[in-house]
């Protein structure tokens, strides 16, 4: 049997490759070998493994993980974290950001991956009115510092739209850095938290996408504007049938990877209040309009979901929330396969 490697075009007639980001089941605290066996049991093609789920990023260990993945027929992408020291998400323990990126490049090359995921900042930066253009300038400089290493390794650095940058900002970052070695990890859940319709985000970023995070959401009007909440695939208001068709046209080489995050309460987006717009000083009305239509036609989530509260959880609650992660991932995978037609493992 043959299958396409991550980043390669699928053979004619082959379905989009299906997988998930291990952050979806973070509560289980499984390391890479156990997650690979789990993914194999689900007959998946690709796995994005969060940096912390590797017991080491040293070459001998990663080669063992690649050998296991090859035996199981699963391609691996590593997922690294924040690269901008100006972000609230930066971890000083990562050391020099350029060196952090070089470790990611080496890890991706060792694992046989064409890309690895990073992010500039997070939603806390945006909500705190951080100077996003200054953060972008810093991130561009850091990314350019490893251009030669990325090109020599044949590895693309995939910057996620992570609640920090809106679509047009992320596009600017890619174009000013260099699309020959930097692309986009397209997340479909984060745009709604920045008042974007994910379909609009896809249209803007589609030509730059090298990997993905698929997640659904509900969006609906409130007296202060709107609210958004992440839900399992198929439980939300995003038109994924339409999305998948357009994704296949714009991103034919990109795997369909789920990053399911449930258990969070709705987040209010009070766009009827003037102060809220300080975080979005340059958003065009033409980009806001599709989100407004999504909210007007949307609805709250009416299904069953455990919500993580603030502070320490009783052990019984915590155990249930962890189990919910696995349940919601698996039913999201079922929806991708059986409703959206994604994920024939590979063709003979």
Helices 240-250, 198-205: axis angle to 10 degrees equals 0
pLDDT of residue 15: 59
Please report which residue ranges of 8-56 form alpha helices under DSSP H: 32-41
Token pair 């070459």 is at which residue? 59
Q: Sign of the C-alpha dihedral, residues 192, 195, 197, 201?
A: negative
Round to whole Å and give the CA distance between 111 and 126: 33
| Range in 4-18, 54-68, 72-86, 318-332 with the lowest mean pLDDT | 4-18
pLDDT of residue 312: 82
Percentage with pLDDT > 70 across the chain: 94
Give the relative orientation of helices 97-111 and 132-144 as an angle to the nearest 10 degrees: 60
Cβ atoms of 138 and 85 closer than 8 Å = yes
Per the structure block, which two tokens stand in for 309? 């509260």
* Rama region for 311: left / alpha / beta (φ>0; ψ in -120 to 50; rest): left
Do the Cβ atoms of 151 and 101 come closer than 8 Å? Answer: no
Nearest to 148 by CA among 119, 180, 118: 180
Phi/psi at 268 (nearest 5 deg)? -80, 140
pLDDT value, residue 347: 34
Q: Which residues pair with 204 in a beta bridge?
A: none
| Residue 344: pLDDT band with limits 50, 70, 90 | low
For 111-147, what is each residue's pLDDT tens digit?
999 999 999 999 999 988 889 999 999 999 999 999 9
C-alpha dist (Å) from residue 146 to 92, 101, 134, 154, 185: 19, 7, 20, 12, 18
Q: What is the pLDDT of residue 343?
A: 75
Residue 2 has pLDDT above 50, yes or no: no
Ranges of each domain in the chain: 18-338
Q: What is residue 68's predicted lDDT score, i.e. its pLDDT?
A: 98
Rounded Cα distance between 263 and 298, Å, is: 19
CATH class given for the domain over 18-338: alpha beta
Task: Let me know: does 101 contact 64? Beta carbons within 8 Å.
Answer: no
Q: What is the pTM of this model?
A: 0.94
């Amino acid at each position: 049997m043959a299958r396409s490697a991550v980043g390669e075009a699928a053979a004619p007639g082959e379905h989009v490759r299906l997988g998930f980001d291990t952050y979806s089941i973070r509560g289980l605290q499984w390391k890479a070998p156990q997650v690979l066996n789990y993914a194999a049991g689900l007959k998946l093609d690709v796995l994005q493994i969060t940096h912390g789920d590797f017991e080491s990023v040293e070459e001998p260990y990663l080669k063992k993980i690649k050998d296991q993945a090859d035996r199981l027929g699963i391609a691996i992408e590593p997922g690294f974290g924040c690269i901008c020291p100006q972000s609230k998400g930066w971890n000083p323990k990562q050391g020099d950001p350029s060196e952090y990126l070089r470790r990611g490049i080496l890890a991706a090359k060792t694992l046989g991956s064409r890309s690895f995921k990073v992010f500039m900042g997070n939603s806390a930066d945006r909500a705190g009115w951080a100077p996003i253009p200054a953060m972008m300038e810093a991130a561009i400089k850091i990314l350019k510092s490893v251009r030669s290493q990325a090109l020599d390794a044949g590895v693309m650095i995939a910057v996620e739209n992570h609640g920090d940058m809106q679509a047009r900002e992320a596009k600017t970052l890619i174009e000013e850095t260099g699309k020959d070695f930097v692309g986009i990890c397209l997340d479909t859940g984060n745009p709604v938290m920045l008042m974007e319709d994910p379909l609009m985000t896809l249209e803007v970023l589609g030509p730059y996408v090298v990997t993905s995070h698929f997640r659904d959401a509900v969006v609906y009007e409130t007296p202060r504007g709107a609210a958004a909440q992440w839900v399992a695939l198929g439980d939300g208001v995003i038109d994924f049938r339409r999305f998948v068709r357009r994704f296949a046209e714009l991103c034919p080489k990109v795997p369909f990877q789920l990053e399911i995050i449930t258990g969070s309460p709705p987040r209010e987006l009070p766009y009827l209040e003037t102060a809220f717009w300080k975080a979005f000083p340059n958003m065009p009305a033409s980009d806001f309009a599709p989100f407004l239509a999504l909210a007007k036609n949307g609805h709250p989530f009416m299904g069953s979901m455990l919500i993580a509260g603030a502070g320490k959880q009783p052990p019984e609650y915590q155990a249930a929330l962890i189990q919910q992660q696995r349940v919601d991932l698996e039913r999201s995978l079922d929806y991708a396969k059986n409703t959206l037609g994604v994920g024939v493992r590979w063709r003979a």
